[in-house]
Amino acid sequence: MNDIISKKHTVVALISTTSLLLSNTVFSADVEDIRVFQAEDYTRVVFDLSEKIDHELFMLDNPERVVVDFKNTKLALDVGNLNYSQTPIRAIRSGTRNEGDTRIVIDLGEEMKPSSFTLAPNAEIEHRLVVDLYNLESKLRDANFRTESPQSSKQEQRRDIVVAISAGHGGDDPGSIGFDGKIKEKDVTLAISKLLQKQLEAIPGYQVVMVRDRDYYVQLRRRPQIARDNRADLFVAIHADWYRSQRANGATIYALSGARADRENARRVAEKENGSDLLGGVSGTLAIDSFDDDVALTLVSFQMDWSMEQSQIVGTKILDSLDKVTHLRRREVQQASFQVLNSPDIPSILIETGYLTNPDEARRLISSSFQQSIAQAIAQGITNYFVELSPEGTLVAWQNENGLSPMTYIVENGDSLSMIALKHSTNVESLMSINELSSDVLQIGQKLQLNEVSRVVISEHTIRSGETLSEIAVRYSVNLDKLRAANNLRNDKIFVGQVLKIPTS
């Protein structure tokens, strides 16, 4: 480590926690575990800590490294056993310095931008330091970074709405098996989840956390915890259903049942002495271990009631959108005792997108076009919910207050059309066309439309038993003559399994 310590380095970020009282003990805290998660545009390294610890984060180059120095700390694990395969991390090394500090060096295969934040303990996990390593070539907006420069745009200083997406099953857990014995639920849910991620991240003001983005298994209890670690505003679990009869079909949305909520509230209160529980999500935190059991139970129950109420509302919004693209098995949000829905501070829903045991529905669920329609419908329902109930301090809330659409940008001092295009993953020609600009000269305060607002686009519909052409036209608000013309129909005769093209404006 001496060759690293002796070299000059440039400090990228210095994040200091509240000062700790120093004792005569050289080591006052432990780094208990290090966990690595790979997302599409960044790599997350989570340090599990025995208590709040002062730390310093900086970069070294030639070769590229991220260094984390922990004050008065010892390492309680063997970093040689960590798994960081399929990530840009090449090695994780450790060393002791200043007779009581621990240095962690993360060797990288490419240049990356580090960002970090701390998380307070809850009933399940102690203090954590989260280090996100962003790919420099990523097109993520600057607002997605946890740390922002003082000169960043006023619009970007307002935080994103964070949606956690959990693709059901994974790894050695295939989930439901299709009617043909080959289709696996884990593959369907991951495909739809990735499309949903793409839909939401195309809208300024939204950030997605993927509970899993590849074929691996995440423990049930960890799934909502990942959402809480990332201060998610909404948790969405994507699944596909199974039934012993091949006739069962349709989508269903679930929220937590009252009975499960009561048990969960009691569990959290019973465990409150083991660590402060986090309540209030991104809007604030509440440590219930400072209250007696009766008061703590009341506080948790109030929070859970709010979460369940919001889950019902957002679930209803998504059902309204799904009704345009698929059959609904239940037209109201159902209640069930699913462990992944038990967060008291995050509205949480589970969407059963259809039945893999129904041959017609299974074939649609593995169709890329139908998966796209499902993802678009879910995204539309989510954005409809947040337009009405946007969290305070978010870009979406600010847009609503100022009568702006999710795709509107206000020109500020120093902006250029090329800079705005780069920030929002578009191009100058598109911005000029959408806004009918004759030149690239901008005025401070000018409103620019960045793109068309994401909407549900129906590309096809598979005929089910009992449906008529006129009913389908009414369902999709399409003129019957246009529907016939789009499908080269001479009359209204249709058959089960036939795929209709749905014309859109």
The pLDDT tens digits for 69-79 are 998 888 888 88
Among the ranges given (65-74, 152-161, 204-213, 290-299), the one the predictor scored with the smallest mean pLDDT: 290-299
Verify that 318 and 414 share a domain, yes or no: no
3-state secondary structure of 311: helix
Structural domain harbouring 497: 460-501
Verify that 423 and 361 share a domain, yes or no: no
* Separation CA 119–CA 238 (nearest Å): 27
**To the nearest whole percent, how much of the chain has pLDDT over 70?**
75
Q: How confident is the model at residue 466 (pLDDT cuts 50, 70, 90)?
A: confident
Q: Is residue 396 part of a domain?
A: no
CA distances from 463 to 325, 327, 459, 488 (A): 12, 11, 13, 16
Verify that 318 and 198 share a domain, yes or no: yes
Q: Is residue 394 part of a domain?
A: no
Q: Is residue 64 part of a domain?
A: yes
* Mean pLDDT of the chain, nearest integer: 77
Q: Is residue 195 part of a domain?
A: yes
Q: Is residue 343 part of a domain?
A: yes
Q: Span 51-63, mean pLDDT?
A: 87
Q: Span 437-442, mean pLDDT?
A: 86
Verify that 345 and 435 share a domain, yes or no: no
Q: What angle do CA 395, 399, 405 make, to 5 degrees?
A: 115
pLDDT tens figures, 219-272: 888 888 898 888 899 999 999 998 888 989 999 999 887 665 455 544 543 443
The structure tokens 């847009």 sit at 399
* Separation CA 335–CA 465 (nearest Å): 29
Higher pLDDT, 183 or 308: 183
* Separation CA 193–CA 199 (nearest Å): 10
Overall size of the chain counted in residues = 505
Question: Which range is most confident: 6-10, 177-181, 262-266, 434-438?
Answer: 177-181
Among the ranges given (204-208, 285-289, 376-380, 463-467), the one the predictor scored with the smallest mean pLDDT: 285-289
Verify that 110 and 25 share a domain, yes or no: yes
pLDDT of 293 over the 60 cut? no
Verify that 427 and 481 share a domain, yes or no: no
Q: Is residue 455 part of a domain?
A: no
* Separation CA 174–CA 132 (nearest Å): 30
Q: Is residue 480 part of a domain?
A: yes
Q: How many domains does the chain contain in total?
A: 4
Question: Residue 429's pLDDT is what?
Answer: 80
Higher pLDDT, 424 or 118: 118
Q: Is residue 487 part of a domain?
A: yes
Higher pLDDT, 300 or 46: 46
Question: Residue 36's pLDDT is what?
Answer: 87
- Of the three residues 101, 134, 152, the one that is the final residue of a domain is 152
Verify that 283 and 165 share a domain, yes or no: yes
Those residues whose C-beta lies under 8 Å from the C-beta of residue 431, and which sit 6 or more positions away, are 417, 420, 421, 437, 448, 450
Verify that 368 and 225 share a domain, yes or no: yes
Verify that 349 and 428 share a domain, yes or no: no
pTM of the full structure: 0.54
The HSE-up count of residue 446 (CA atoms within 13 Å, CB side) is 18
Q: Span 19-28, mean pLDDT?
A: 45
Q: How confident is the model at residue 439 (pLDDT cuts 50, 70, 90)?
A: confident
